[in-house]
């Protein structure tokens, strides 16, 4: 049993160390919403992964903050819950807005794990001390620059290279990278930029021995992905179109893909992420943990989730120092030879850097029952 006595909403803006281009556009900074839940002398912290504009999915930072203030936090403040699943039930009557709800649920998992004195991953059912990690590389100015940035990350030991692609920037850079690195585990991510009219171009990617092609078609589609998958020998990986365990079941039953990218916030929190993991495992489909340019708070949650047994492909939980000059946590989250150690200690095992966050926060709000 744990009680939520008060909450804090914090929003910080972190400049990225590099220009990150995808089919959505170019990103040079990340606005990071943080939620802190207090209770029983401990605190749990989570991170929102929604964007300023509804590009990845339909949620936005402004919408999420409004819902947290007026709907979700009033529903849980001052209440005691047997576990985070019970808290999830308290929010279960609300439709959609899974990323906003996940902020409450994930902070509750961290709070509960810290109260129990156990690591979050162990509480979720994970058993690993370290997880395999890959790296996600944005669209580069040309093929030579692409090969160069891949080389740097291969030399750093990352166990999977993922290239962002879009129509007009797909076959050429992938061919250049595969010719330069014939043996690396290579994947591509389209972020929903293609349609079935592009089947021929996507089929050309079969020649490069990719582990999977991630989310080539519409963010809310499963049917066209199934048709596309029948035309390709490369497995498709579902990302944006899986918002729940039911979506995972339907997509895998339809043959919409053979791999699932599990983003804990996208599916509404750790409990549903674990159900997605279990469904995929039942279908014999591997999963991996995707990233949304998280700060150390979200990255630590992702690492702990990745300790579950069916996370058998390297995830996007690469070293935090790739992204930030200064992170929002005191600890460093750094991979060595493609392995990310699981943070030790209760909960996520990381500590919010209060001095730094207070100094740079654009929003600082407190809520009590």
> Is 263 a known active-site residue?
yes
Using DSSP's 3-state secondary structure scheme, residue 112 falls into helix
Q: Which of 17, 162, 164, 250 is catalytic?
A: 164
173-176 contact pairs (CB < 8 A, 24+): 173/140, 173/143, 173/146, 174/205, 174/208, 174/210, 175/207, 175/208, 176/143, 176/144, 176/146, 176/147
Distance set, CA 210 to CA 145, 177, 254 (Å): 20, 11, 22
Strand partners, 136: 162
Asked whether 234 and 212 are in contact (CB, 8 A), the reply is: yes
Asked whether 173 and 146 are in contact (CB, 8 A), the reply is: yes
> Is 128 a known active-site residue?
no
Q: Taking the C-alpha atoms of 272, 274, 276 and 278 in order, what is their torsion angle to the nearest 10 degrees?
A: -140
Strand partners, 352: 329
Catalytic residues: 164, 263
């Amino acid at each position: 049993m744990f009680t939520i006595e008060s909450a804090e909403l914090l929003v910080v803006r972190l400049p990225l160390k590099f220009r990150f281009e995808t089919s959505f556009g170019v990103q040079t900074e990340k606005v990071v919403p943080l939620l802190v839940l207090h209770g029983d002398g401990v605190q749990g912290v989570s991170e929102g992964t929604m964007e300023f504009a509804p590009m990845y999915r339909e949620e936005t930072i402004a919408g999420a903050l409004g819902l947290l203030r007026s709907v979700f936090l009033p529903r849980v403040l001052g209440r005691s819950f047997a576990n985070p699943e019970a808290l999830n039930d308290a929010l279960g009557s609300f439709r959609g807005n899974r990323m906003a709800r996940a902020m409450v649920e994930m902070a509750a998992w961290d709070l509960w794990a810290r109260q129990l004195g156990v690591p979050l991953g162990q509480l979720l059912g994970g058993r690993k001390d370290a997880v395999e990690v890959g790296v996600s590389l944005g669209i580069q100015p040309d093929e030579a620059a692409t090969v160069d940035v891949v080389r740097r990350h291969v030399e750093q030991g990352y166990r999977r290279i993922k290239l962002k692609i879009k129509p007009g920037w797909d076959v050429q850079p992938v061919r250049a990278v595969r010719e330069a690195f014939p043996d690396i585990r290579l994947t591509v991510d389209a972020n929903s930029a293609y349609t079935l009219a592009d089947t021929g171009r996507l089929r050309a990617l079969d020649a490069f021995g990719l582990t999977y092609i991630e989310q080539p078609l519409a963010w809310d589609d499963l049917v066209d992905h199934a048709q596309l998958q029948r035309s390709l020998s490369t497995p498709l990986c579902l990302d944006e179109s899986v918002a729940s365990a039911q979506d995972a079941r339907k997509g895998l039953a339809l043959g919409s893909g053979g791999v699932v990218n599990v983003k804990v916030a996208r599916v509404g929190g750790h409990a549903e992420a674990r159900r997605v993991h279990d469904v995929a495992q039942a279908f014999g489909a591997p999963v991996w943990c995707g990233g949304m340019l998280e700060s150390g708070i979200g990255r630590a949650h992702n690492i702990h989730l990745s300790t579950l047994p069916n996370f058998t492909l390297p995830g996007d939980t690469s070293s935090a120092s790739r992204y930030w000059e200064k992170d929002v946590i005191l600890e460093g989250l750094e991979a060595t030879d493609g392995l990310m150690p699981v943070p030790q200690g209760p909960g996520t095992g990381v500590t919010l850097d209060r001095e730094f966050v207070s100094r740079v926060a654009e929003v600082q709000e407190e809520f009590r029952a």
